[in-house]
Amino acid sequence: MFDIFTNRDSNVKNDVLSGITVALALVPEAVAFAFVAGVEPMVGLYAAFMMGLITSAIGGRPGMISGATGAMAVVMVALVAQHGVQYLFAAVILAGILQILAGAFRLGKFIRLVPYPVMLGFVNGLAIVIFLAQLGQFKVLDEFGQLSWMQGEMLYLMLGLTFLTMAIIFFLPKITTAVPAALVAIVSVSLLVHGLDLEARTVIDFVRDMVPAEQKATVSLAGELPSFAIPMVPFTLETLYIVLPTAVILALVGLIESLLTLSLIDDMTNTRGRGNKECVGQGVANTVNGFFGGMGGCAMIGQSMININSGGRGRLSGITAALVLLGFILFAAPLIEMIPLAALVGVMFMVVIGTFEWASFRIIRGVNKEDAFVLFLVTGVTVIADLAIAVVIGVIVSALVFAWKHATHIHARTHTDKDGWKVYDLEGPLFFGSVSHFKDLFDPQSDPQDVVIDFDESRIWDSSGLDAIDNLAAKYDDLGKTLHIRHISEECRALLKQAQRHVEINVNEDPRYRIATDKLG
């Protein structure tokens, strides 16, 4: 049913091995994002397991990895701080329902409205965010209980192991691709550290630095199966008012990040995911999270890149990652706690290098300055603010740039026909942005008794264009002159309120010529 084993591009061995690699990288990320949101580490680990399993099984993009993410964690902070984790679970459930509705109403298609410069900015911005997030692994607690940068031998060892990991990932594929290079790197560096008894920081050291001093001795990544529980919040309108704003933002951030990651993987693998199905998959996963004590999440570009680069293409890769992560939680927490942070940092640094669109530097030299501005704008906002805000700003700015550029593309050639009528052969789009230029093309006072506007090489795009024609028709009518409008669509003629009463209108029979308007069904 879920084409786990039948995906043409997938390979069972590659999917399983890449899934194991992804599971190893998921642990510190899930723990870190749990602390960002202000919840316990197990809440983040449960989210990574449930998001990964459900979206891999029923989502619209085989090979894409979902889990607890920083983009959604930062949205949760205020709600958790003010009302507690139970309200967070309620918000995650509501966000999941909204995402399911988005898929049911087929809103995933609107991701196509994201322009290419915005997509480049999204990719570059996330690569920078992933890089900056890894820098936190180079900090340790000082004698005052504050995180400070590593120094001396500890720093040199961390850097050395990180570069060793990156070197293995870079060179091993040139020798063999039988096993994922990232998995080999993690295992090799772990064996080296513990075999030589090196004083390298491990995953459990990272977790202990995040908890209060009195909990350090007992902290562990070991857990049990998540259990079903209805969030313990009052079922009142007041509760809805509290959780609804957070739920809406979580739903939007989750869908934007997931659908953009889906588009990125589509480009990398020359395949096509199903956006609306992914919306439903993300929604179901978040809804289940809320009932089983997870913090929710969305697609993770870093882990998705690890999976794709390790050969994971099918649903089995994501399912394997989720189940292996659960296995770590239930049975093998001590092994995961022993993994050197440097190995995971090295893997993520290679993800950064692979994710960043280096070709954008060459593209910038070849594109116009407006696209370059949008690219840098989205990249910057993604880094300093939020992914969803960055994409929305990028789309709006791109739309405004498009409208501004096309506003000047309308012009007219004029000539006088054999009957002495002045003919305006209009070229270019007539829409809200070009209305001002359209009006400037005509001179009702000086024009002869009969004037023709020929739309054969022009199109009316919106109601603003129709209104401009109405106003122009009224001006000619007030002067006692006749305006002839040729080659517009039947629906345009029906929508012209003033002009059709005072001017001669000739309809274009081209069935492809339509106008976008809310007044027509």
Question: What domains lie within the chain, and their CATH numbers?
Answer: 12-360 (no CATH), 408-507 (3.30.750.24)
Tell me how far apart the alpha carbons of residues 410 and 173 are, in angstroms, rounded to a whole number. Answer: 55
Residue 257 φ/ψ, nearest 5 degrees: -65, -40
Phi then psi for 415, rounded to 5 degrees? -155, 165
Classify 487 as helix, strand or coil: strand
Helix-then-strand count for the chain, H and E: 21, 9
What letter would DSSP give residue 106?
Answer: T
Question: What is the average pLDDT across 44-73?
Answer: 92
What letter would DSSP give residue 340?
B
DSSP H or E run through 360: helix 359-366
Quick one: tokens of 299?
């697609």
Contact in structure between 398 and 425 (CB atoms under 8 Å): no
This model's pTM is above 0.75: no
Range from 129-138, 208-217, 310-319, 429-438 carrying the lowest mean pLDDT? 208-217
pLDDT tens figures, 251-310? 988 998 899 899 889 888 888 889 999 999 999 999 999 999 999 999 998 889 889 988
Q: pLDDT tens digit string along 417-466? A: 888 899 999 998 888 888 888 999 999 999 999 999 988 888 887 778 88
The Cα-based distances of 471 to 407, 466, 481, 491, 503 in angstroms read 18, 9, 14, 18, 12
The CA distance from 394 to 388, in Å, is 10
Query: In terms of pLDDT, which residue wins out, 329 or 514?
Result: 329
Q: Which of 43, 25, 18, 55 is nearest to 274 (CA)?
A: 55
For 430-469, the DSSP string reads: ESTTTHHHHHHT--TTTS-SEEEEEEEEEEE-SHHHHHHH
Of 298, 328, 321, 306, whose CA–CA distance to 204 is shortest?
328
In the prediction, which pLDDT does 520 show?
A: 38
Mean pLDDT taken over the chain: 85
